[in-house]
Amino acid sequence: MGSSSEERTEIAAFFDLKTTNPYRAGPGYAILEFGAILLCPRNLVELSSYSTLIKPAKHAVSIAPTFTEVADKIFDLLHGRIWAGHNIVKFDCVRIREAFAEIGRPAPEPKGTIDTLTLLTPTFGSRARNMKMAAAYFGLGQQSHRSLDDVRMNLEVLKDCIAVFVLDNRQVDVNMQERPIAEYSGMFSIPIASEGSSGHAGFLAPDEVSILYVRATYVPIYRSQRIQLLHRDVLLQLYSSGLKVRSGRPRLSIVVDMLPSLCHVLGACDLVSQKLTMDSGSSSDWRPLVNRRNGSSSPTVRLNIPLLANGDIDIYETEIYQKEASGNAQRLVFTRFDLGELHSLFLPGTLVEAYFSLDVYDYQQYAGVRLAAKKLIINSR
């Protein structure tokens, strides 16, 4: 399958190799498995994938194809595209060139390279070489040590690396040269919609947010100041559907599973808020916004339901709606605060839509980002 040079500039190849581990006096590396995904570099959406086991030379027992038999496919996947992966500059790229040289063929050449090892090294030092450590740090689960699975995990690490680089207000181009965001804002950014273009006035859906434009800043509040999260210099408030109530009796909050798109946005918000808080001299313990340590593959987040004093009675400040199967949503009216009533509405497995603000706090030696639900829509089972 051929592609024009113009098409190739718009597609990145994220790949991984599994090889033999040669003895010092024995033969060199032999590729045992190749896995790659092609993705759009502007929004990191996977377009296609390919993986194959490879029979090393002089091994007649394997039913896998030889490298010669898959060389055309691998060349077409890689040549003229951005190459990305973990430790690819010093290992995978070298092995690819060696494998093509062994069969007397010219090797594919990249338009540029992105190596997550280079991205992680400033934070983790020599430990960055261990992808298992990086995956654990970002809460991405366990490596399977199969090429295609590891490629997809490396991609998730890259997305989180981008969020970390936002903290330094810099971005890395395809040749690993650092540039200010303003000079190279197109690469890796998610397409931006205008504020509220999703139909949720004043609230953005996760896919409308570019983490490159999320920042934390101090704003004056009465005689003090507080941190606010902004997106393109506008107060950031989010909308998300498909949130599944996890479990447990709600105590003016509900814990929900969330989709990866929301997880990445909240992760970026958490990072920039923590950096500004710590840089301002706070010694408080930071409480991560996203909970990845619950024994499940799905990260969770807590949505708080604030109270509003109405005379001598506390009522919910959050607007709560019930959506019927017809799609009509009716606002529920509460005359008082009742935990039991709240629990009956948000049973485990219930799907909700949420409109919420992100409030940064630093109180009594604890700091973090608190999600305050402005509006909750409960979907009928």
Half-sphere exposure of 149 (CA within 13 A, CB side): 9
- Whether residue 153 contacts residue 131, with contact meaning beta carbons closer than 8 Å, is answered with yes
Q: β-strand 224-231 against 214-221: which pairing, if any?
A: antiparallel
The gap from C-alpha 313 to its chain's centroid, in whole angstroms, comes to 42
- Whether residue 343 contacts residue 249, with contact meaning beta carbons closer than 8 Å, is answered with yes
Distance from C-alpha of 352 to C-alpha of 105, rounded to nearest angstrom: 56
Listed in sequence order, the DSSP H helices in 108-189 are 116-124, 131-137, 147-166
User: Residue 221 CB: number of other CB atoms within 10 A?
Assistant: 9
Give which of 313, 314, 331 is closest to 322, Cα–Cα. 331
Phi, psi of 126 (to 5 degrees): -65, -20
- DSSP classification of residue 324: -
- Whether residue 164 contacts residue 268, with contact meaning beta carbons closer than 8 Å, is answered with no
Distance from C-alpha of 2 to C-alpha of 75, rounded to nearest angstrom: 10
Tokens of 178: 């650092």
Of the residues 59, 79, 86, 145, only one is catalytic, namely 145
Is 145 noted as a catalytic residue in this protein?
yes
- Whether residue 86 contacts residue 115, with contact meaning beta carbons closer than 8 Å, is answered with yes
Q: β-strand 112-115 against 82-85: which pairing, if any?
A: parallel
Question: Which residues belong to the active site?
Answer: 145
